[in-house]
Structure 1
């Protein structure tokens, strides 16, 4: 049986809360919210106030014990860490890094020079003092097991410092910092910001709590300098000294929830259930439907009055239609129905029947979610209905979708920002409508996200656009494919992912612009999230440009000078050219330049593609 985690409390300046008010308050908070108290928890609370003075006997800094990770291992570690920190965000609430400000930051910087804070000044400036403090703490820790660390004020800086020096067999089940000044440059001891550019491999998660009335926190969290930390704002009293006290931080239920989860595990099964592998996994088409309906539901929560009523009516009909189509398709294929799809069922013929709320979206790795969420954000969820949604409502809904998918709300914000940037690049200031209602129908977006997922009944040997047409045939006219512009018009399931229908008259210039912008948004999002970018999008644009140029030359030689068809092809071509230009300036061209660079082994350009 695994031993329960030990609680390590690291105090700030002063004598270290000799009355242990933090402990009694935290124990009470845990009991109030349904966790066990601290009565049976092993607590280590080192006192090191005297160690802030330089001793006569020289002390050496304890060695770093975290080995450097290879690129692949580091990437895996970061992905898994983000999954855990996103689950904590889902548990606690929305990440809030604060706004900071010149005045609060200046106050924190100047306070370090005051006599009252000489201990902090000594720790930050003297390696001897740092060594004394760290050695004092490490001497009291076990060699193996798990720790939950609570660091207050300067103790949060010490916590970040000591984590990298723990015994190899000792892991950090969770780090909670309260009232931390780490975001201030004066506290960047031993270049902690640079050393912690990636989560330490021995740490499961780090949550930082800050209060707007706490002068030491300076109206901000620490994610501004350590971006992978989850910041969470709470309220402490208005009086500065009291607002900064560990006792009042520990009185907050959110702080208790984080520490309680680290020590005792989950009080509920909400997150556990969302991570369980169901016996019958969703295929790509079913997953897309579940996520799209959930996204629409999250949007509906942010609407009001008559618009919300119309939106919910359209969503109700959409949910009923897609449930029936998936049921019919799976029955024809003799495929069982996953629980998430069964959950959507209701009697649409009964006007009083309430449509079940779509379940939260399952977890996706970020490189999978990048394409999926961009597609979701850019489609018309309720096709053929068109209901304009406020930008902020769509943004907040996407942040919620990302948060409950354990990707973090910032991922959702980056999705929308990437779409806006791509839209601006492609439209060149011209007001586009595709994010207003969604230029692409549901079926088109589903194919763009996972054409292979819909190809459930493709005949042997069928590929590319023919595979799409074959798969969609199972849904019948006006079914899931009802939102398609033309089957196979905009995308192909072939290995190159090349557009096969940008030349068709049934494909409007606006629809092509929307798809180009969506594909470009995935590139922008991948850069923001530091994800790998393969060559597929570049190849797609190059092939589309080649086809469009050939078609434009053919049309211009024969058609009237002001032909709408010619103007449409020019507009399509311009959209593709802008996308290629952006990727070129970002150093994303594959091919000969990259090969020459590798051959010379002298990097001259920065490439993010593989």
Structure 2
């Protein structure tokens, strides 16, 4: 759909597209396979008009179609995120012309009768329903008979017409890719007098919508479309502030999106037929996380919430599969059969790789972590109830109630107000705001991106910041070997004083030890001393800051809340006899280690009395 002006009779836009396709090693698109209706004369002739064509039908309940649309849109976001010549999504980051100047110039040109950039053509089209009807009917008359898949591209004014066309496109057509480039449809002047442009989107027959702009393009006003059209995904490219269709379509990101549809990849899933590779522990832990998330989806009672959760989980799993496949292709490593099955789109069976104590720790973490980050979905008790399904699969079905109740009791003791949503730990108030306990998986995932993952032997560890898998696996490992110990170093911002996240890690570890006691498993008897040490550190930090800080300093408020949590955990540990109150040994040395000799600076030697760094202490 051509833009403002004479309709591009020389099809310069196609030359630009084919240059872009050639750069991707693809064959050019012949003019015979292109439909490019020319409607410029309609916009310059007075008195033309027709009744608007009938709108197409869209199912009343299009939830499933919307969810699948979001998954496809996420795939585009992932593919473009790897390109350095594309700006961040939803962020128009660099204007060569100040925004107010762009917007004012665009609005004046659209609303006036001047010929500046022929933007008055846009105003005429939008302001006259009979003219819109005539243009749309003319375009529809050019369409071929029979069912067809389409790549629909709208440039400038053509993007405005293409958006309207979606409402009236016959059901026999499927739009495999919808691209708007250099679009003025985000201009407020086009929407000033109500909904003159349709915002109803046919999710069931359009696969995706990407809007591409240069932030210095005066026709766009430096604005994307996502704030007005919820289905649009904005992408910012650099064509030096120009507006030509050939420049937009010749850009590598735009021509690449078109090439994906015209020349779909036949890439095979990598497998190994000569040897069987055993899954790493990280691989197994991440599969446990995936199974747990699917169990949560199945345990949600509310049908609508369950559909949203499954849709979010599908996107998260797509992210994992894409990152894993890329990692395998780039490294050329042989992969376990379970990972090959995951890459082929199937969820492998849950491995049985954990002892009961380790499994308890991991389930505690998973039940308290948002597994579909960045989406926030209150699943009720589904996060807790999902434990039963996992334990059933691993042969521990009779232990689900004990583990869930243990975490309930600890959470209830620490959060006296109750009502703490599953998928979080304990909310901590900071000033007038509420900081929900950030899911532990996410706190860790930011520390190990793809670069760090490439150095590991794990396949599924190749997962960048922003997803659930790497972080949950990291914290799952920590929980099984002492969450509180590692939490100090990871969540305290580099210091030894726990933050809100560190306090929540302590909550988890206390819950793990309490559950282990209920199940007659070995209990870490040094936990009480370590929690007491945390309480002392927080108290000392509060005293240090109180002298000069504002009384309502956000960090002071947080530290006091952390102190209250840690103190309540000490009460809980004492009340439930999770202590080693009488011991001839100092808690800084394990029971299995011999007492140090007096001349080596042991607990009886006061000549070397000092406060040890918490991270060094916990790793000793």
Normalised to the residue count of structure 1, the TM-score between the two structures is 0.48
